[in-house]
């Protein structure tokens, strides 16, 4: 859920990059962190295994400026893609306000994409949430591969709720910023109603 900190007058929004192992989740955050101005970011936290794979999550708070007098901060997470880190993935997914599902466009990995997507739905359900209750976007990554699946096939196999989708090649940065920017626009549209309700509650408390 969106978290309001009254002491700092700050609204924090959590975005989780979810997807199978090696689909490009960490590359997304690394590229975003690299391109952000120094004043707009904090240190990129990465917990890794001996094989340098993401073990738990990468956390990247991104300052977004002012929204109706309240400071906005995006908290960007990735989940570990490996199946044996399932409990860690569930923990990271809790309280997410939006999800970017990073799809590996390699035709040989379609089954892994499907299995991971179904696992995500199950994780949300175990937390009392439905996929339609959360802002979701697909990023079809690795569009530079010669063996990539067409977007219409990926949409047919995965995007049953007709969520927004974007093409990307995270290793070069193509489409990475665009994905986050477009999702952020959708989030800000939702924030209007969320913040309005928050300030109603805040004003009632002040009376």
Find the angle CA(185)-CA(75)-CA(140) to the nearest 5 degrees: 60
The CATH class of 3-206 is: alpha beta
Question: Could you report the per-residue pLDDT of 73-105, keeping only the tens digit for each?
Answer: 888 998 876 665 667 778 888 889 999 999 999
- pLDDT above 80: residue 142: yes
Name the average pLDDT for the chain.
83
Residue 189: C-alpha distances to residues 77, 123, 146, 182 (Å): 21, 26, 37, 11
pLDDT of residue 83: 61
Pick from 169, 187, 202: nearest CA to 75 = 187
As a whole number, mean pLDDT of residues 146-150 equals: 98
Q: Which two tokens stand for residue 126?
A: 């175990």
Selected residue with higher pLDDT from 193 and 121: 121
Spatial neighbors of 114 by CB under 8 A, at least 6 apart, are 157, 158
pLDDT of residue 205: 52
Spatial neighbors of 138 by CB under 8 A, at least 6 apart, are 100, 101, 103, 154, 155, 158, 159, 163, 164, 165, 166
pLDDT of residue 196: 57
Main-chain dihedrals φ then ψ at residue 73, nearest 5 degrees: -130, 125
- Express as a percent the part of the chain with pLDDT over 90: 49
Question: Could you report the per-residue pLDDT of 160-192, keeping only the tens digit for each?
Answer: 999 999 999 999 999 999 999 999 988 888 776
As a whole number, mean pLDDT of residues 129-158 equals: 96
pLDDT of residue 203: 53
| Predicted confidence band of residue 44 (pLDDT cuts 50, 70, 90) | confident
pLDDT of residue 10: 75
- pLDDT above 70: residue 202: no
| Predicted confidence band of residue 55 (pLDDT cuts 50, 70, 90) | very low
The full set of domain ranges for the chain reads 3-206
Q: Which two tokens stand for residue 5?
A: 């900190």
């Amino acid at each position: 859920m969106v978290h309001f900190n009254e002491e700092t007058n700050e609204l924090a929004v959590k975005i989780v990059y979810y997807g199978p192992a090696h689909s490009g989740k960490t590359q997304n955050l690394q590229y975003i962190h690299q391109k952000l101005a120094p004043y707009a970011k904090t240190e990129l936290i990465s917990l890794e295994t001996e094989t340098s794979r993401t073990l738990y999550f990468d956390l990247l708070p991104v300052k977004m400026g002012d929204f109706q007098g309240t400071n906005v901060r995006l908290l960007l997470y990735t989940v570990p893609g490996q199946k044996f880190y399932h409990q860690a993935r569930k923990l990271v997914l809790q309280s997410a306000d939006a999800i970017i599902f990073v799809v590996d466009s390699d035709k040989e990995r379609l089954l892994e994409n499907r299995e991971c997507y179904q696992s995500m739905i199950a994780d949300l359900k175990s937390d009392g949430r439905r996929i339609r209750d959360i802002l979701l976007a697909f990023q079809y990554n690795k569009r530079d591969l010669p063996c990539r699946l067409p977007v219409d096939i990926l949409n047919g196999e995965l995007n049953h709720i007709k969520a927004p989708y974007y093409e990307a090649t995270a290793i070069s940065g193509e489409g990475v910023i665009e994905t986050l920017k477009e999702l952020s626009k959708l989030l800000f549209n939702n924030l209007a109603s969320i913040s309005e309700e928050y300030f109603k509650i805040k004003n009632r408390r002040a009376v």
